[in-house]
Structure formats: structure tokens, C-alpha cells
Amino acid sequence: MKRLAICPGTFDPITNGHIDIVLRSLRIFDEIIVAVAKNPRKRPLFSLEKRIELIKESLKDTDNIIIEPFDSLLVDYVSSRKGIAIVRGLRAVSDFEYELQMALLNRKLAPHIETVFMMPSEEYSFLSSTMVKEIAAYGGSVQELVPPPVEKALKEVFQKES
């Protein structure tokens, strides 16, 4: 049986930190689904379709990855895909409390699914999609923080606005 894990997130947009976590996960699991939450309550900058397109372009040379949307209770979705684990990234202590709460709640709902935490390379431990958007909005360079298709997409969005 293939050992399949799900990396869920909003990915608004995908950053090098997300990619670091996905690539590390592939060292443990046979296959990874990058599951993109619709998350309208977070008011994403990029549409669900655009977020998926950017992930596909950014990971086009990586095998054993599926990229798809989801819009249901995470544990139900993971069960339906026959995943054995949820992978989340832990950047700093500040991520911990929320992530622990989610992991324990998900365990309560679905005891057969494990949550696995991965630590990114320290050069990405300060990186978030929110920071990247903030920098891009003020015309700063995000070249070292995101893959090239994302850099281009951010330029398009913020050039239009200014």
C-alpha cells in the first residue's frame, strides 16, 4: 500500500517554505496530496484556481504529488482519499499552540489519522504568505522567498493596483 499524506493549507500564495515542507514530506511518504482549502473566510488574494495553478507550475518537476482543492472537514477529506497522515509545518513556537489544538481535535474526530509536524530549513522559518504579500504590495523583492511563477503573479497583481 502506498503511504499517502495530505499537506493542507490556503497557499495564498505558495512560498519556498511550503515547498520545503512538501519536499521533506516526500522523504517519508510515497505520495503527497497538496490540498488547497477554499477558505473564503480568509479572503484570499488569489482565487482557488490561481492558487492551484501556481502550485502546479512551481512543483511541475516533482514526482508523486497531487494538487487538488478541498472544501470539507479536513479529516473527512483525508479519509476519503485514504491518507494516513496530515502534514503541517512548524515555523516557531508561535505556531505551536494553534497547531497542537488542531492536531488533538482532528485526532478526536479521526483517531486513525496522524498529524506529522515538519520543521522547515531555518532560512524559511520566518516566511509566511502574509509577509510575502506585504513585501510585494510595497514593491519589495520576493525573489528569494517564492518560486518564479509566484513572483510573476504577485507583480501582475500589485502593478495593476498602483
Residues that are catalytic: 18, 42, 91, 129
Q: Distance between CA atoms of 120 and 113, rounded to whole angstroms?
A: 22
Residue closer to ligand ADP by CB (options 43, 160) is 43
Contact 14, 55 (CB under 8 A): yes
Contacts to ligand ADP from residues 111-130, by CB under 6 A: 120, 124, 127-129
Q: Distance between CA atoms of 48 and 33, rounded to whole angstroms?
A: 16
Residue closer to ligand ADP by CB (options 62, 159) is 62
Residue closer to ligand ADP by CB (options 96, 159) is 96
10 binds ligand ADP (CB under 6 A): yes
Among 59, 91, 150, 154, binds ligand ADP (CB under 6 A): 91
- Alpha helices (runs of H) in the chain, residue ranges in sequence order: 16-25, 48-58, 74-80, 93-109, 129-137, 148-161
Question: How many Å is the Cα radius of gyration of the chain?
Answer: 16
**Rule CB under 6 A: which residues touch ligand ADP?**
9-11, 15, 17-18, 21, 88-89, 91, 95, 120, 124, 127-129
